[in-house]
Amino acid sequence: MNMILLFSHKLTDTQIKDAIENLKITNFKYLPNNLQKIWSNVPSELVDLEEYSKQFKDFVRLVAKKGDYVLIQGDFGLTCKMVEWCKKNGFIPVYSTTKRDVIEEVKNAKVVKISKFKHVMFRKF
């Protein structure tokens, strides 16, 4: 079972362990560097993302088989477009749920908030 990563970051050890244990993932497929840069920098002035999304659809078609998981997190509009496309084409779109712990510290008479995010699980869209 594959997990294709339409995702702006590298998976954490906790995410990898969860995917292997709970989704039975045996292979993780990251975007190549050129597509990674494009996924992480969606131009805000684009009115329609149909043409822009084609390169990611082509990548998924190339490296995945029906029933594989696709982790999709990024630009809201592109994420929605890819989730819809994955569902129509037999792939399983998921995202990572997290728990946020906030720590407040006083430094130099200023309150500083530090947020730490911890992976909880992968959830189907």
95-105 pLDDT per residue, tens: 999 998 888 88
Strands 27-30 and 110-124: unpaired
- Residue 92 CA to residue 47 CA, distance in Å, equals 27
39 touches 63 (CB < 8 A) = no
Q: Taking the model in full, what pTM does it have?
A: 0.88
Taking only the tens place, the pLDDT of each residue in 71-97 is 999 999 999 999 999 999 999 999 999
- Residue 67 CA to residue 73 CA, distance in Å, equals 19
59 touches 35 (CB < 8 A) = yes
- Residue 21 CA to residue 5 CA, distance in Å, equals 17
pLDDT for the residue 63: 98
Taking only the tens place, the pLDDT of each residue in 5-27 is 999 989 999 999 999 999 999 99
124 touches 83 (CB < 8 A) = no
Strand partners, 52: none
Q: Would the pLDDT of 38 be above 90?
A: yes
The count of structural domains within the chain is 1
In this structure, is the dihedral angle defined by the CA atoms of residues 85, 7, 54 and 44, taken in order, positive or negative? positive
Computed over every residue of the chain, the mean pLDDT equals 96
Domain span at 110: 2-124
